[in-house]
Structure 1
Amino acid sequence: MRLARNQAAGGDQRAAPDPLTIRIPAAVTMLGLGRSKLYELMDDNLITIIKVGRSRLVVVESLRAFVTSRAFTERSDL
């Protein structure tokens, strides 16, 4: 999709890089969790955020690390 957008705009044919940070609603969608649970995870320092002005941005790599660590924990419980 990003590639098509770049081509349609007359840009080069390279895909746009994945974002390093995302806003809270996008993080909620990516995790499939509720907003309150995401805030709990942020308060527990399980998800990394940065503040820019009044905005809170979620570090995408911390979402990946959280999911990976939970998947590993779940498998080791078997």
Structure 2
Amino acid sequence: MATYPPTTSFQDPDLSRELLTVPQVMARLQLGRSAVYDLLRSGQLASITLGRARRIPARALTDFIRVRLEQEAA
């Protein structure tokens, strides 16, 4: 019989912050829903789709902010 490693619970606080919902991104960027979806549609902000749910990796949001700051500094 095969043994499998234990699965990580979704209650893990580190994992719950890994993928963000659109409303969470809206709050962090202080932008409206349409503006966030425009960023997603244009490819400026990376996301994944799980069924009908759109999720934004926290790393993608961090990278987006870093790139925008570098553009502003140039």
**Interval containing the TM-score (normalised by the shorter chain):** 0.7 to 0.9
Question: Paired residue for 1:17?
Answer: 14
- Point out where structure 2 has 5 or more consecutive residues left out of the alignment: 1-11
Higher-RCO chain (CA-CA 8 Å, sequence separation at least 6): 2
Residues 22-66 of structure 1, C-alpha deviations (whole Å, 9 max, x = no match): 111001001111111111100011111111111111111111111
CA RMSD of aligned residues (A): 1.6
Structure 2 length as normaliser, TM-score? 0.74
State the TM-score, normalizing by the size of structure 1.
0.71
- The residue identity in structure 1 corresponding to 2:54 is R
**What's the % identity of the aligned pairs?**
26
How big is the shift at 1:17?
1.8
Report the Cα offset of residue 16 of structure 1.
3.5
Unpaired runs of at least 5, structure 1? 1-14
54, 72, 75: which one aligns with 2:73 = 75
- Aligned residue pairs total 62
